[in-house]
Chain A
Amino acid sequence: MNYSMVKRLILKDWYLQRIAIAASVLGGIGALGIVCLGGQAAFMAGLVLLITALIAVGAHLAIATMVNERKEQTLSFVMSLPISHAEYTLSKLLGTLAIFMVPYLVLVFGSLALFAIPHGVPHGLLPFTTIMAVEILLNTCLMIAVALVTESQGWTVAAIIVGNISINIVGYFVAHLSGIARGMQGGSVNWSTTASVTLLVEFGLIALMLGSTFYFQSRKRDFL
């Protein structure tokens, strides 16, 4: 594996997506600002905007860096460069995730920082917030994996829809797990075994998804 080539491909996508990254960070910071206004309505509106910003940037990256590469016929230019299929796959996975991590980490840490300031958000929501933040990351991995393996706009849009729906279902399900629901409205953080297991399952699914992507990509026989 030539990591120098992988790095150059990642920087290429970073450059091409710089506007999307900046826009999503700005949008997310705006959403955090709304949360800071205080009050339940502002909290809910800000939260919805924040999640929307993260899902939107994840979906945009999956479409722009992978599906469009085929659709806009830039894939043959990239594959004419001295890279192997494995290097291309690694650059797409690492690159797209790294790009996503910029707005993601800014916004996730921004959200977590809100717990440290007196604004009325119960500290008991911290485990739930963390689980949902990782769920958004899992959702993004799903979109990236489907986009990379299928290179199809239709399948990627389907993955975006499934991911979106699953965030709501997972949110509802996790909020009703007794080990998490008990402490959600409390003033202190109650990190239960249920919360830890849920996080582990999410990270396990992320690892499985990324591993499967490599497996399916290695079995591909036609890259154009």
Chain B
Amino acid sequence: MMDLTVDFKGVSKRYAHFNLDNINLELPTGSIMGFIGANGAGKSTTIRILMGLVHQDAGTVKVLGHAMPAEQAAAKMDIGFVSEDMRLYAAATLHWHMNFVSSMFPKWDQAYADKLIRRFDLKPQQKIKGLSHGQRVKAALLLALARKPRLLVLDEPTTGLDPVARREVLGELMAVLADEDRTILFSSHNTQDVEQISDQITFIDRGKIIDSDNKEAFLDQWRRLRLVLPQNSEVPRLPGVIDVGGSGRLPVLTTNRFDPGMLTVCQDLGATVQAVDSMTLEEIFVSSVQHRRETVAV
């Protein structure tokens, strides 16, 4: 049986203008999940439920074997959490924050914290209010990483960072991945960041999980077929085609279940396969969301 660090079963949360609907989410131990959704899709609400900060209306949540939100204190002992809207105390120094956090986490690794200070070029005696946005994110990340969490939850950590700071933050996350026991949930609307570090991908849109699989499966199964059709013939009906674009005799088919056999079927129907394009994670995400929205609208 798979060892799960995060296990959501039928989780729902209702607000006046937004519903998180029947979320089922499994995060195996040691995996890195990219949690992708547009702004307002439900990423932060899902993460807040995971952290025990918002109580679900229905369903069960288990994190590191603890039922949430009831056992959140025990669960959070092994969680490092950084979110885009998290702020440290402006009037206090990073050194004070390190002392404060280390007093609460027995596994705090001061040597690692010192290493991160050098790597991130931070000054422990500097007050938080004197740090740039990028430095604040790095400081928050340092405080989360040095507690040696088994689960790292990152809610849009790279939002608002300049390219250099973003690269440094992502670089450190890549280094952290060397620890195979650590599980990471990385939420973002920036698919490039997610693609770099994740091995599992989950798409969320309008409060629903619309797809979840490992990254390679996404990249292998999604393709764009550029066809040239003979005069007066129709676009071939193929299983797994979720969108037909292009125009007239030059259709572009988007499929989420690509199989080389599809090309033979097209050729048998008289179409010429001009190109089979791989898709980026961003293109896959956008197509997936559009397809889901069109399906719901129908």
Contact = CB atoms under 8 A, between A and B. Distances in A.
A12 interface: yes
A59 B77 CA distance: 33
B83 interface: yes
Contacts of B54: 221-224
Contact of A77 (B73, B76, B88, B105): B88
Interface string A66-104: 000000111011011111110100000000000000000
B85 to A, nearest CB: 5
Contacts of A83: 73, 76
Contact of B140 (A77, A84, A85, A221): A77
Contact of A2 (B69, B73, B82, B87): B73
B74 A82 contact: yes
B183 to A, nearest CB: 16
Given A221-B55, A223-B54, A74 B89 contact: yes
Contact of A224 (B53, B80, B89, B104): B53
B83 A76 contact: yes
B91 interface: yes
B238 to A, nearest CB: 46
Given A81-B76, A83-B73, A16 B89 contact: yes
11 contacts: A72-B87, A72-B90, A74-B88, A76-B53, A76-B81, A76-B86, A77-B86, A85-B72, A87-B73, A223-B53, A224-B48
Contact of B100 (A8, A80, A85, A222): A8
A216 interface: no
B16 to A, nearest CB: 12
B72 A80 contact: no
Which A-B residue pairs are the 4 nearest by beta carbons?
A80-B81, A221-B55, A73-B87, A82-B77
Given A2-B73, A221-B54, A223-B53, A81 B92 contact: no
B92 A16 contact: yes
Contacts of B105: 82
B79 to A, nearest CB: 7
Nearest to A224: B53
B286 interface: no
Interface string B101-132: 10111000000000000000000000000000
A72 B72 CA distance: 23
Contacts of B88: 74, 77
B96 interface: yes
Contacts of B87: 72-74, 76-77
Nearest to A1: B73
A5 interface: yes
Contacts of A82: 73-74, 76-77, 104-105
A76 B80 CA distance: 12
Given A84-B73, A85-B69, 20 more contacts: A8-B103, A8-B104, A15-B92, A15-B96, A16-B89, A16-B92, A72-B87, A72-B90, A74-B87, A76-B81, A76-B85, A76-B86, A77-B88, A77-B140, A79-B53, A81-B104, A82-B73, A82-B74, A82-B105, A222-B53
B20 to A, nearest CB: 12
Nearest to B78: A82
Contact of A80 (B69, B74, B79, B92): B79
